[in-house]
């Protein structure tokens, strides 16, 4: 484990919602993550995010212009601080394009990226319109040319390990992803201990580690602040979708990694707080604290 210099660790709050299918709950979800997390002791920045709905589809990507502009804003804030480490609190998964691209370049590609996620996030615009599902493809040099151009040093397939992957695996078969060997550990392979993750890292011996942690990797019967856990379809979906990973399992893996390797990047994304979002709307419509003439109900896009 490497002792962190907190003054060189940038905390980046990035409440982007357009890349996840124009879903406003991601805004609240990111801010709640920031409120719940231990207080940042180093520099802090919030990436400015448009609150306007962007349903324009360009080059196969929904809200492409807005997401690209916000990625560039994140890059400017990162370059302002030139940090050694970055913590990103999102927002949808595409918030990690600029931070991870920066870190991989900073450390000359001597890095490993643990993609702790139920989904591989390697779709291409021809197959899926929401950018949060294609951010890893961009980091690997695949996809929309302008997003790819934001990555000065591409990750190599051998730098990436999927942890907890169990859904949307068909996206790995799109060209040119099918020609890349991307290693993966499913929920059953990490359930008992962290040995397979540590063995994978030991074989590569990277000097620095980045961790993408999409909360949707978690078991929805234990943690329900997930897009898939929409209350009206919860009972149907909890049996329909693959079972995720227990929270304590993820904690154990990330702690074990951090005890042996220098973690320089951590992104936590896709916090979808259904109850808090509905409660926020309710409070805004009550007497004395809200507007009793307000009839607008909360907007969201469930699966």
CA distance 271 to 75: 22
pLDDT of residue 6: 74
Q: What percent of the chain has pLDDT over 70?
A: 98
pLDDT in tens, 52-98: 999 999 999 999 999 999 999 999 999 999 999 999 999 999 999 99
Tokens found for residue 247: 């929270």
CA distance 158 to 27: 33
Q: Residues 43, 263, 48, 60: what is their CA dihedral angle, to the nearest 10 degrees? A: 170
The residue with tokens 């931070």 is: 99
pLDDT of residue 210: 98
**Short-list 125, 124, 206, 101, CA closest to 161:** 206
pLDDT above 80 for 4: no
The string over 160-190, giving b where at least 16 C-beta atoms fall within 10 Å of a residue's C-beta and e elsewhere, is bbbbbbbbbeebbebeebeebebbbbebeeb
pLDDT in tens, 244-284: 999 999 999 999 999 999 999 999 999 999 999 999 999 99
C-beta separation of 244 from 164 below 8 A: yes
pLDDT of residue 5: 66
- Ordered domains of the chain (ranges, CATH): 6-283 (3.40.800.10)
Instruction: Name the DSSP class of 218.
Output: B
């Amino acid at each position: 484990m490497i002792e962190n210099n907190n003054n060189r660790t940038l905390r980046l709050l990035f409440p982007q919602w357009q890349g996840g299918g124009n879903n406003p709950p991601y805004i609240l979800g990111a801010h709640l993550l920031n409120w719940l997390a231990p207080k940042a002791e180093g520099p802090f920045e919030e990436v400015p995010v448009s609150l306007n709905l962007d349903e324009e589809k360009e080059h196969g990507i929904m809200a492409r212009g807005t997401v690209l502009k916000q990625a560039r804003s994140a890059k400017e804030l990162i370059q302002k601080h030139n940090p050694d480490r970055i913590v990103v609190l999102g927002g949808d998964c595409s918030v990690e394009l600029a931070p991870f691209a920066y870190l991989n370049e900073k450390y000359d590609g001597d890095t490993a990226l643990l993609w702790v996620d139920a989904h591989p996030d390697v779709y291409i615009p021809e197959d899926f319109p929401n950018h949060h599902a294609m951010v890893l493809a961009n980091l690997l040099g695949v996809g929309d040319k302008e997003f790819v151009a934001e990555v000065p040093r591409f990750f190599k397939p051998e730098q990436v390990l999927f942890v907890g992957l169990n859904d949307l695996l068909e996206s790995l078969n799109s060209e040119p992803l099918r020609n890349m060997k991307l290693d993966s550990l499913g929920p059953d392979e990490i359930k008992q201990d962290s040995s397979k993750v540590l063995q994978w890292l030991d074989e590569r011996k990277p000097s620095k580690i980045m961790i993408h942690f999409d909360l949707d990797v978690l078991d929805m019967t234990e943690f329900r602040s997930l897009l898939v856990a929409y209350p009206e379809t919860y009972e149907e979906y909890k049996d329909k979708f693959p079972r995720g990973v227990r929270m304590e399992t993820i904690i154990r893996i990330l702690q074990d990694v951090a005890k042996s390797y220098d973690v320089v990047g951590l992104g936590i994304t896709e916090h979808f707080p259904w109850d808090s979002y509905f409660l926020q709307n309710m409070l805004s419509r009550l007497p004395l604290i809200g507007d009793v003439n307000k009839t607008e109900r909360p907007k969201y896009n469930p699966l």
